[in-house]
Amino acid sequence: MNRIIYEDTSGNACVVTPSPNWVGTLTELAVRSVPEGVAYSIIPTDDFPQDKLFRNAWKVSEGALVTDLPKAKLIAHEKRRVERAELFAPLDVEATIPSRAVAAEAARQVIRNEDDAKQAAIDGVVDEDELRGVM
């Protein structure tokens, strides 16, 4: 099966997947689905990433679907921040208890140090595979 891809005015990749009931050609579907005057490509489903981790970083380049690495890094940083907040949450409570505050702050510093290392690793990657490995 093939899908239609095109880039919208914001630079985001748009994917048109034919309905199982579609009986026309993909070109006919593109005429109905893609804004007038916008270039599109028809690519095999197998050319799409297996997971959609960086879906919001996809873009169309020379008729192919690629991942915009700077956008993918932003997605990775957001996931890193969410993970850090989840790790901090129980320690935020612990920090309000005077007898546990010092230990909670020490545990928070360990999380900060690990997060700093992960942030630097994300910033330093050179391709999507390496970024996936860091995450």
Q: Which of 15, 40, 67 is the last residue of a domain?
A: 67
Same domain, 56 and 103: no
- Please give the average per-residue pLDDT across 80-98, as a whole number: 95
Distances from the Cα of 118 to the Cα of 46, 80, 89, 114, 134, angstroms: 31, 8, 19, 6, 7
pLDDT for the residue numbered 12: 85
- 1 pLDDT band, cuts 50/70/90, is confident
pLDDT for the residue numbered 38: 92
Same domain, 81 and 128: yes
- Please give the average per-residue pLDDT across 48-65, as a whole number: 86
Q: Which of 25, 44, 67 is the last residue of a domain?
A: 67
Same domain, 52 and 99: no
The range of the structural domain enclosing residue 62 comes to 2-67
- 48 pLDDT band, cuts 50/70/90, is confident
Same domain, 57 and 95: no
How much is the pTM?
A: 0.81
Q: Which of 50, 67, 84 is the last residue of a domain?
A: 67
100: helix, coil or strand? coil
Pick the range with the lowest mean pLDDT from 36-50, 66-80, 95-109.
36-50
For residues 129, 133, 134, 135, the Cα torsion angle rounded to the nearest 10 degrees is 100
pLDDT for the residue numbered 88: 96
Q: What is the DSSP letter of 35?
A: P
Q: How many domains are contained in the chain?
A: 2
d(CA 111, CA 89): 11
Is the pLDDT at 61 greater than 90, yes or no? no
Same domain, 21 and 58: yes
Same domain, 63 and 6: yes
pLDDT for the residue numbered 134: 92
- Please give the average per-residue pLDDT across 65-92, as a whole number: 95
pLDDT for the residue numbered 108: 95
Same domain, 46 and 92: no
Task: Identify whether the C-beta of residue 26 lies closer than 8 Å to the C-beta of residue 4.
Answer: yes
